[in-house]
């Protein structure tokens, strides 16, 4: 009896740890998406500012003057890095959710593992349909 209760407690602890990992990953994705949106707003603001060649940017607790083109390039690189990180987190999240469902005895979410068609695949389908 005591052995069974310890086994159940250990199993529940493992499930709770995996669930916490899933929630932490989701929160990271949300935080990165918020940063990506702020970067997008900054890029739009730089595009709409037609008058100045230099812009002041707040980095940490100080303002620094940058060339507008250099700042756009830096933000664009940051956007690409954020996209890569978010894609990696999404892929890892799928694995974690499947593991959590497996631990809880739930069925596998088959549709959750679907991947979107690539541009090349869509182009090939359209060209096949036109013939």
Q: Which residues pair with 63 in a beta bridge?
A: 58
Which CATH architecture best describes the domain 2-108?
A: Orthogonal Bundle (1.10)
Work out the average pLDDT over 84-111: 83
Neighbours of 119 (CB within 10 A): 8
Using an 8 Å Cβ cutoff, are 72 and 43 in contact? yes
User: Helix (H, G, I), strand (E, B), or coil: what is residue 115?
Assistant: coil
CA distance 65 to 71: 9
The domain locations on the chain are: 2-108
CA distance 2 to 75: 58
The residue whose two tokens read 């005895």 is: 105
Measured CA distances, 115 to 54, 95, 96 (Å): 42, 14, 17
Work out the average pLDDT over 16-28: 93
Asked whether the predicted pLDDT for residue 31 surpasses 90, the reply is yes
Neighbours of 58 (CB within 10 A): 8
- Which pLDDT belongs to residue 112? 58
- Which pLDDT belongs to residue 60? 85
Out of 7-11, 90-94, 109-113, least confident range: 109-113
Using an 8 Å Cβ cutoff, are 28 and 113 in contact? no
Q: Percentage of residues in the chain with pLDDT exceeding 90?
A: 37
Token pair for 94: 């799928």
pTM of the model: 0.72
User: Helix (H, G, I), strand (E, B), or coil: what is residue 8?
Assistant: helix
CA distance 91 to 28: 13
């Amino acid at each position: 009896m005591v052995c069974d209760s310890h086994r159940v407690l250990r199993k529940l602890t493992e499930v709770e740890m995996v669930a916490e990992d899933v929630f932490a990953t989701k929160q990271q994705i949300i935080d990165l998406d918020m940063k990506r949106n702020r970067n997008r707003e900054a890029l739009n603001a730089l595009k709409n500012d037609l008058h100045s060649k230099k812009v002041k940017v707040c980095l940490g607790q100080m303002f620094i003057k940058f060339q507008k083109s250099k700042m756009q390039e830096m933000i664009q690189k940051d956007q690409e890095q954020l996209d890569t990180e978010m894609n990696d987190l999404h892929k890892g999240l799928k694995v974690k959710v499947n593991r959590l469902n497996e631990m809880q005895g739930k069925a596998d979410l088959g549709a959750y593992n679907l991947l979107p068609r690539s541009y090349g695949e869509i182009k090939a389908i359209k060209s096949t349909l036109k013939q």
